[in-house]
Structure 1
Amino acid sequence: MIVALIIACEIGFWVLLVAGLALRYLAKMPRLGAAVLLCEPLMELVLLVVTTIDLRNGAQPDWKHGVAALYVGYTVAYGHYTVKWLDGHAAHRLAGGPKPPGAGYGRARAVHEWKLWLRTLLAAAVGIGLLQAAIWYVGDAGDISSLRGWQAAALRVAGIHALVALGYTVWPPKAPKGAEGAGAAEAAKGTEGAAGAGGAGDEPALSRPGR
């Protein structure tokens, strides 16, 4: 049941995301679209409650509970970021908004990668915390080796991502020739577009991602 619920939560995340963006920019119902997007965290809450009930009813902790904890951690750290990032691109393509900036080059790209790593670190911390709560809840009554293993896996993922970010710091990608000038022109054009589209004051603000 836990696995099916994780899959349902992942599908539900994208269904709500697409529905919310469609309401905001295609149906011209920004407030309803924002309300739909704000329903995203409810699915993770349901998953957390069901997982707790499953353990309380005597289920032996195994890989399913570990995946559920890390999934909740991932959505806490990256869920809102994903919504903001896609909202920025939807506003650009469907509502004439400014084009969201890319990850950049050089030092800017390295800073971007370290910010992403902080999100991964947050995801690992949340997942490890939930797994530790489950370990304390189960106590000596059950086998907690699987939960300990998932805690170690979360730490490994954070460590690997740190090495990736370090690689971008040591060997940052260089901007291709002419990219800086084109980027400045695009930014100026985006500013003009934002000024022209600024009359929609009744639209609930969803901050744009800092990519």
Structure 2
Amino acid sequence: MIVTLIVAAEISWWIVLGLALSTRYLLRWRRTSTALLIGLPAVDLALYALTVLNLRGGTQASWMHALAASYAGFSVGYGPSLVAWADRHFLHRFAGGPKPLPAPKYGPERTAHEWQIAKRTVVSAVITLGLISLLMPLSAGAAHVGTFAQWYWKLGIAAVVNVVVAGCYSLWPKEPPAGVRVEDGRVVEDGRVAEKVESGS
């Protein structure tokens, strides 16, 4: 049952997001779109609530229950940025908006970008582990508790790795290669390509 709930929640989340963007840019129903966007976290919270009920009903705890909790954590940490990404691409594709800019690759902008990723990962991990902690009393037996406990070090490692990567970019910012001109951390002109074309001709 829990697998079905997770799949249904995943599909529902994207359907609600698609409806929100469609009503905003195709139908110009901004209030409806806003209401749908606000409802996105409700999908993950509903999944978590059903997970709690599933465990309270006597179902044996498994890693799938922890995965269901992670959906709510991911929604808090990465949800806003994912919605913003989808919004930019939908606006460009269907409403004549500007082409979305790629993520910055060099300089302080790349460093700031890596810290944003680290922040989202840490927030997601903290929320997920908090929700898993609430599930643990509902699981029967030490073996079931151990199933949930594995997520502590797994998510902890993921958060630490992201922070270390961001820290490395702070200590050693990535600089563009010679011949590459960047603006706001993004490549606007690559002289190396021109040199290759000229040498080839």
**Counterpart in the other structure of 2:117:** 116
More deviation, 104-113/136-145: 136-145
- 1:139 to partner: Cα distance: 7.0
Mapped partners of 1:119, 1:128: distance in 2: 14
How far off is 1:117 after superposition?
0.7
CA contact (8 A) 2:77 2:121 kept: yes
Higher relative contact order (CA 8 A, sep 6+): 1
The secondary structure found in structure 2 opposite 1:179 is strand
- When residues 85 and 173 of structure 1 are mapped into structure 2, their CA distance, relative to the original with a 3 A threshold, is farther
Residue 177 of structure 1 corresponds to 180
2: CA distance between counterparts of 1:122 and 1:71? 12
Q: Which structure: larger Rg?
A: 2
Q: How does 1:67-106 map to 2 (within 5 A)?
A: 67-104=67-104, 105-106=106-107
Bigger shift: 76-85 or 139-148? 139-148
Identify the residue that residue 6 of structure 1 maps to in structure 2: 6
Contact 2:114 2:169 in 1 (8 A): yes
Unaligned residue ranges in structure 2 (runs of 5+): 189-201
More strand by share: 2
Structure 1 spans left out of the alignment, 5+ residues: 186-211
Aligned position for 1:203: none
Per mean C-alpha deviation after superposition, the further-off stretch among 116-125 and 96-105 is 96-105
Any idea what the Cα deviations from partners look like across 1:171-203, whole Å, max 9, x if unmatched? 52527734329x7x9xxxxxxxxxxxxxxxxxx
> Match of 1:199?
none
| Structure 2 CA distance for partners of 1:142 and 1:59, relative to 1, 3 Å | farther
Structure 1 CA distance for aligned equivalents of residues 175 and 71 of structure 2: 31
Offset, 1:79:
1.3
CA apart distance, 1:97: 4.1
Scaled by the length of structure 1, the TM-score of the pair is: 0.75
* Offset of residue 96 of structure 1: 4.1
Offset at 1:137?
4.1
Q: Deviations over 1:12-55 (max 9, x none)?
A: 11111122111211223222222222221121111111111111
1:153 Cα deviation (Å)?
1.3
